[in-house]
Structure 1
């Protein structure tokens, strides 16, 4: 064959391939769930010119991020902290660009996790203030107890709970036991630890409880709430609210997603970012059924629960400290109030309950829950006024979440996160639960969504072979050059 003819045929073929590529519709992806993980995935694909449709069961965006404005000021009833106030946090560039401010509640390695022992008051159940020197001394003892649990972990090849380990430590070292009021303060520290995991200490894995990679920079409360972040990520993305997914059918080339009213949505791939609690409840039918290893991974992680009772008052009657605590003989009966007035200037207190107590709180009516919280406040401050408004969360029984965020159960297999995030053909998995190092955090959920989008794009590019791959760029990448510092304060 004439070399010129061969070159001409090759050129014609290349042109034809390019024309076919231009005529082919853009790849399509359905994202299930409009929490920050789903919206981050959708944002990444949308910016890479994919056809993206987000299906969300709620009537709002954000998932377990929910900034309520009914008080006349933003109150986060779900996630409210940025864990790791540093440039390495993947959300930092977006927070800088939006000009959002944070209120730092702790530095690194605080015994209270997201608070320092700097601005607080603790009371017993009768409303008497606990001496601060006692709180500091018991805090030091709590650190020693946790340090000793590392030795217990090394001695036990099988996993046990943090609660069991603490009992072993106290049996070995009676001098670390606390009596009377000091014992109640120790229970309060345990209560704060349980709040970090949203689970009781007898459910938390000793093997992995302290293995999380916590970013540096301490912890910052989002003063304007997380809602501006959600709205910025969701801008221009096709998001369908009130679209509850009931079935996901996947084949080699396409995915069909069925919603509650029977309508079907078809795409090249799907990214599933629904909460782990929803996956555990088998609310969504998969066709074909999920393989046993995926079902086991879903089962082998725990889902914690933490609820908030937010109270707005017409005047401030409490001291200008960041937190108010109630100590008690058991961690279950201990209490914690976040003083939003200190951080935002608005007369709002937020009571938080985690673990079993969070579920028990949901058994009450909202009014009864608010009254219960007010009983604590009136013992601490007899002149306390009644709240003008109150809000109560129900994350554990909300069918759209069925829990707050994930944690490591006792005996968790070492590869559970790998299996949970592993794709199934053209199905990809996001959400905070698949974030190996930062589960339970907003930035962990965000990163998991971006990663799922990257894996999805790689899969589609390979499937369509000759199609040129458009590199994904998350919001953080597009504004990393920003020189605006994160605005953070501590009054």
Structure 2
């Protein structure tokens, strides 16, 4: 649908607004809803949790705001989140990662010089791999993994003994959190698609709370636009003679919502677990894409377990 769908072709008078249901009130769902509202659509957002934000969650249970989820802005050059953060008067600091420590498999701490060299080489291989992939995509065989390239870089280093090579190979697992899969499964030909936003990694000391408040502003201003505690179980599409496709969304509590279109911002993990049923089913190509897409799972560990007693 386009803006033209909103205006009657006969008399130029506004007709009934097309209705769109947005599933999920994370950053993706909120931004999509905002764009649709600004374009003149009638929008309703259904969120399974009792809050908006998805992976962004800020708590004040300790008397000050703390981010339980996302906490960084990765890349400050051309990153649209920077503009939102500045509008929200956010404060942040540059994360230099100078205090990175590396442990050997036996639990011993590597010297700072060796640890820094291992980590620096890891990022160098990643950056060089992205560049090589972009420049040679047409000639790289589809069965070549990033791990194979990574190992070739280790083999080309002069003066490294087996122990030094082993350290460099073992630390490669950290890159899995960037590409969201084991790097022996990462297609090297398309590694350039994992290129991060350039610039510094910024730690949001003022938390993501103000940023999320700003992102949710448009949806919250629309009366009845957002409904919390509405976990969706099923989405059905029926072809009608007069209206074309009509989409029905069923919640866990048995409520039914209908719309002219449904935009799903359901988390990848939920899609992988088939928590939401689709009728007709999702096309097989998309199902296979969902199956093979990976995602990172990072945990925050507090220095004091007291934090768990108040959560």
Q: Shorter-chain TM-score category?
A: 0.7 to 0.9
Alignment equivalent of 1:92, drawn from 82, 86, 91 = 82
Judge conservation of contact 1:39–1:230 (CA < 8 Å) in 2: no
Deviation for aligned residue 1:243: 0.8
Alignment equivalent of 2:261, drawn from 254, 259, 269 = 269
- The aligned residue for residue 388 of structure 1 is 306
> Quick check: 1:159 aligned with 2:151?
no
> Quick check: 1:36 aligned with 2:27?
yes
> Quick check: 1:217 aligned with 2:177?
no
Q: How does 1:3-402 map to 2 (within 5 A)?
A: 17-19=11-13, 21=14, 24-86=15-77, 88-106=78-96, 115=97, 118-122=98-102, 129-139=109-119, 141-142=121-122, 147=128, 150=132, 157-170=141-154, 172-173=155-156, 175=158, 177-180=160-163, 182=164, 185-186=167-168, 189-235=171-217, 236=220, 237=222, 238-250=225-237, 251=239, 252-312=244-304, 387-390=305-308
Indicate the SS of the match to 1:100: coil
Deviation for aligned residue 1:145: 5.2
Q: TM-score with structure 1 length normalisation?
A: 0.52
Indicate the SS of the match to 1:255: strand
Change (3 A) 1:309 1:197: farther
Judge conservation of contact 1:178–1:186 (CA < 8 Å) in 2: no
Judge conservation of contact 2:177–2:296 (CA < 8 Å) in 1: no
Q: How does 1:448-463 map to 2 (within 5 A)?
A: none
Deviation per CA, 1:404-458, whole angstroms, max 9, x where unpaired?
Answer: xxxxxxxxxxxxxxxxxxxxxxxxxxxxxxxxxxxxxxxxxxxxxxxxxxxxxxx
Deviation for aligned residue 1:257: 0.8
Deviation per CA, 1:118-139, whole angstroms, max 9, x where unpaired?
Answer: 3444455787653322234334
Deviation for aligned residue 1:232: 1.7
Deviation for aligned residue 1:38: 0.1
> Quick one: distance in 2 between partners of 1:305 and 1:15?
50
Indicate the SS of the match to 2:193: coil
Indicate the SS of the match to 2:176: helix
| Larger radius of gyration between Structure 1 and Structure 2 | 1
**Unpaired stretches in structure 1, ≥5 consecutive residues:** 1-13, 107-114, 313-386, 394-491
Q: TM-score with structure 2 length normalisation?
A: 0.78
Indicate the SS of the match to 1:195: helix
Judge conservation of contact 2:272–2:290 (CA < 8 Å) in 1: yes
Aligned residues: 289
Q: How does 1:390-469 map to 2 (within 5 A)?
A: 390=308
Structure 1 stretch 128-137 or stretch 253-262: which is displaced more?
128-137
Structure 1 stretch 285-294 or stretch 120-129: which is displaced more?
120-129
> Quick one: distance in 1 between partners of 2:59 and 2:21?
28
Deviation for aligned residue 1:30: 0.5
Judge conservation of contact 1:246–1:284 (CA < 8 Å) in 2: yes
**Unpaired stretches in structure 2, ≥5 consecutive residues:** 1-7
Deviation for aligned residue 1:75: 3.0
Judge conservation of contact 1:103–1:221 (CA < 8 Å) in 2: yes
Deviation for aligned residue 1:177: 4.6
Judge conservation of contact 1:84–1:216 (CA < 8 Å) in 2: yes
> Quick one: distance in 1 between partners of 2:76 and 2:17?
37
> Quick one: distance in 2 between partners of 1:187 and 1:41?
41
> Quick one: distance in 2 between partners of 1:17 and 1:244?
41
- The aligned residue for residue 5 of structure 2 is none
Judge conservation of contact 1:199–1:305 (CA < 8 Å) in 2: no
